[in-house]
Chain A
Amino acid sequence: MGRTDSLAKLALAYGVHLTRRRVSRPRAQVQRLLDMYRPDGLEPLTAAEQERHPQLVGCINCGLCAFAVSRSGKTRPPDVASAYLRLYARLGDASSDLDGDGASGDPDWESAAAACPVGVPLPEVAAMVRRLAAG
Chain B
Amino acid sequence: MSQPSAHDVIVIGGGVTGAGIARDLSLRGLSVLILEKGDWGGGTSGSSSWMIHGGPRYLEFDWDTTRLSTKDAGHIVTIARNIVYRIVFLIPVLPHDKNNIERMETAMEVYDRFQPLKKSHPHVRLTADEARQVEPGLSPDMVGAVTMEEWGVDPHRLVFANVQDAIAHGARALNHTRVVELLKHEGAVIGVRYRTADGVTTEARARVVVNAAGPWVPEVAQLAGMNVELRPAKGIHIVYPHRISNFAISAESIDGRDLLMVSHAGFTLLGTTDDDFYGDLDSMDVLPDEVEYLLQAFERVFPSIRSYRPVRTTTGVRPTLFKWRRYEDELSRRYEIFDHAAGGVEGFVTIAGGKLSMYRLMAEETSDAVCRKLGHQAACTTATTPLPGSERDMEPAEEIARRCGIPALAVVKLQGRHGSRAESVLDDARCGRVVCRCEPLTEAELAYAARSEQVHSLPDAFRRVGLAAGPCAGGACVLRAAEVIGRELGWSASQRFDAAREFVRGSWLGRAPVLPHTGWAEEEMVQGAMRGLMG
Chain A contact residues, CB within 8 Å of chain B: 2-3, 5-7, 9-10, 13-14, 17-18, 21, 26, 28-30, 32-34, 36-37, 40-47, 50-51, 53-54, 57-63, 74-76, 78-79, 82-90, 93-97, 117-118
Contact = CB atoms under 8 A, between A and B. Distances in A.
B134 A30 contact: yes
A120 to B, nearest CB: 10
Given A9-B110, A62-B525, A85-B242, 9 more contacts: A33-B124, A44-B135, A46-B136, A54-B309, A82-B438, A86-B241, A87-B265, A94-B408, A96-B408
A74 B246 CA distance: 25
Q: Which of B247, B401, B408, B409 has the most CB of A within 10 A?
A: B409
A6 B66 CA distance: 11
B401 A10 contact: no
26 contacts: A3-B61, A6-B61, A10-B107, A17-B102, A26-B125, A28-B130, A29-B124, A30-B134, A33-B124, A33-B134, A33-B147, A36-B124, A41-B246, A42-B88, A44-B133, A51-B136, A54-B308, A57-B242, A57-B308, A61-B471, A83-B409, A84-B409, A86-B242, A93-B408, A96-B401, A118-B519
Contacts of A33: 88, 124, 126, 134, 147
A3 B62 contact: yes
Nearest to A78: B437
B246 A88 contact: yes
A14 to B, nearest CB: 5
Nearest to A51: B136
B319 interface: no
B63 A94 contact: no
Contacts of B397: 93-94
B470 A61 contact: yes
Contacts of A3: 60-62
A93 B401 CA distance: 11
Given A13-B109, A33-B147, A60-B471, A79 B440 contact: yes
Contacts of B124: 29-30, 32-33, 36
B390 interface: no
Contact of B304 (A26, A29, A53, A58): A53
A29 B146 CA distance: 10
B407 A62 contact: no
Contacts of B59: 6, 10
Nearest to B529: A62
B48 interface: no
A26 B127 CA distance: 10
Contacts of A75: 407, 409
A96 B105 contact: no
B86 A87 contact: no
Given A51-B136, A86-B241, A97-B407, A30 B246 contact: no
Given A6-B61, A45-B136, A61 B412 contact: no
Given A29-B125, A44-B133, A118 B60 contact: no
B471 A82 contact: yes
Nearest to A49: B136
Contacts of B110: 9-10, 13
Contacts of B102: 14, 17-18, 21
Contacts of A117: 525
A87 B409 contact: yes
A62 B472 contact: yes
B377 interface: no
B147 A74 contact: no
A9 B63 contact: yes
Contact of A94 (B64, B147, B398, B529): B398
Contact of B130 (A30, A41, A53, A84): A30
Nearest to B108: A17
Contacts of B519: 118
A33 B265 CA distance: 20
Contact of A61 (B109, B134, B245, B438): B438
A60 B526 contact: yes
B327 to A, nearest CB: 15
Closest 6 CB pairs of A and B: A86-B266, A54-B307, A61-B472, A50-B136, A94-B408, A94-B409
Contacts of A28: 127, 130
Given A13-B106, A33-B124, A45-B246, A50 B137 contact: yes
B267 interface: yes
Interface in B121-150: 121, 124-127, 130, 132-137, 147
B333 interface: no
Interface in B399-427: 401-402, 407-409, 411-413, 416
Contacts of B61: 2-3, 6
A114 B471 CA distance: 20
B309 A58 contact: yes
A133 B43 CA distance: 36
A62 B86 CA distance: 32
Given A44-B134, A93-B396, A86 B525 contact: no
B243 interface: yes
B136 A2 contact: no
Nearest to A55: B307
A90 to B, nearest CB: 5
Contacts of B267: 86
Contacts of B454: none
Nearest to A82: B438
Nearest to B401: A96
